[in-house]
Amino acid sequence: MSKGGTRWGAGRPSHKLRDCDTRAIDVRRWQREGLLKSSHFGWQWTEPDTGEVRSSISVYPQAHGVSLSYETGGQPYRPFITTTTTPCHFGGSRVWFACPGCNARCARLFLRWGRFRCRTCNQITYRSQREDHIGRLWLAQAKIEARLGSTFKRPKFMRRVTFDRMMDRYWQLENEREMAFSAFVERFSMWL
């Protein structure tokens, strides 16, 4: 897969860090798991391949925010991150972080340069933003494959109409990818 650059159909330049390559905290997950109601909890990030712990932080929920305690580059950090809530239409409320850099409401904060900030403040892009056209088509096709499994049989509780629509989209993506690759090869062969 591509990493951005000057090719035809390329995504954003590759000098920006991707969100999947950073350590992030997600207030939605903490709320869903009931961690914000506790007095203290630890959070850790593990290596996907080995399961080895890469780093960890201590979190201390408070009335209008959370206090974090972590160490980066041998230097201890203890920031306080404010949280806000918005009402939901059918009752309850949704919790958000207020970015310490720009005060924007966001669900995830990313650790970069020793501090937790929103994606915009830390100059982080999504994985799909750095893909070229063919790469984005691969990602869309992989999403459909993940829902249908390796056998491409209709899952037990999926409606036939939904399954047919997904299969049509799958083959449409396949054709688009083939045409995009053919166009790329044709342009590339003109340079030779």
Which of 47-51, 53-57, 85-89 ranks highest by mean pLDDT? Answer: 85-89
Tell me: the pLDDT tens digits for 100-120? 999 999 999 998 888 899 988
- The set of residues, in sequence order, having a beta carbon less than 8 Å from that of 166 and lying 6+ positions away, is 144, 147, 148
In terms of Cα–Cα distance, which of 22, 17, 25 is closest to 96? 25
Concatenated DSSP letters of 103-149: --EESEEEEETTEEE-TTTTTEE-GGGGS-HHHHHHHHHHHHHHHHT
pLDDT for 166: 92
Query: Which residue is listed with tokens 């860090």?
Result: 17
Cβ contact 74:90 at 8 Å = no
Query: Which residue is listed with tokens 């932080």?
Result: 57
Q: What is the mean pLDDT of residues 65-94?
A: 90
| Mode of pairing for the β-strands spanning 17-18 and 124-125 | parallel
Average confidence score pLDDT of the chain: 84
Count of beta carbons in the 10 Å neighbourhood of residue 32: 11
Higher-confidence residue of 127 and 44: namely 44
Higher-confidence residue of 15 and 50: namely 50
Distance in angstroms (rounded) separating the CA atoms of residues 70 and 79:
9
pLDDT for 73: 80
Higher-confidence residue of 49 and 143: namely 143
> Is pLDDT above 80 for 11?
no
pLDDT for 13: 54
pLDDT for 107: 93
> Is pLDDT above 90 for 49?
no
Chain CA centroid to CA 108, Å: 9
Higher-confidence residue of 84 and 22: namely 84
Considering only CA atoms, give the Rg of the chain.
22
Q: What is the mean pLDDT of residues 144-156?
A: 86
What's this model's pTM, rounded to 2 decimal places? 0.66
pLDDT for 5: 47
Question: Coil, helix or strand for 171?
Answer: helix
Cβ contact 17:124 at 8 Å = yes
